[in-house]
Amino acid sequence: MSNLVLTNNELKNAIEYELEHWELIENKLRASFKLVNFHESLVLIQKIGSISKKLDHHAEIWNLYDRVTLSVWSHDVNGITERDIEFAKRATSAYKAIVGRDQAYQSQTETSPA
């Protein structure tokens, strides 16, 4: 995976065509996932930890009962790279594996911690 900052077009295309549930907020990719309860939130956070270890890439994680919010960007290049896109895809897949349906997702960026 390239560690080059994606161009605006590359980033726009990735968000539009490759990344379900993710938005660009304050130059970071962000998604908020709604789960059934606190226990499921912790399961997702554990899966995010495994993804982070495999990719050697770590997101900001916020948890409030049944909601997990993630923000990711590459600190070392101060932007979004292919590694961030891959992290977002894997995080979304982990979420879907837990809830088992696409409909459970709710974007709540306006209520996410800042």
For the CA atoms of 72, 88, 49, 53, the dihedral, rounded to the nearest 10 degrees, stands at: -90
Q: Provide the whole-model pTM.
A: 0.84
Answer whether residue 104 shows pLDDT above 60.
no
Assess if residue 43 is contained within a domain. Answer: yes
Assess if residue 107 is contained within a domain. Answer: yes
Helix axes 82-99, 38-55, angle to 10 degrees: 150
Give the CATH number for residue 74.
Answer: 3.30.1360.20
Q: How many domains does the chain have?
A: 1
Assess if residue 29 is contained within a domain. Answer: yes
Assess if residue 89 is contained within a domain. Answer: yes
**Tens-place pLDDT, residues 15-47:** 999 998 899 999 999 999 999 999 999 999 999
**Tens-place pLDDT, residues 44-81:** 999 999 999 999 999 999 999 999 999 999 988 999 99
Assess if residue 2 is contained within a domain. Answer: no
Assess if residue 1 is contained within a domain. Answer: no
Question: How many angstroms separate the Cα of 96 from the Cα of each of 9, 12, 36?
Answer: 27, 23, 12
Provide the domain limits for residue 78: 8-111
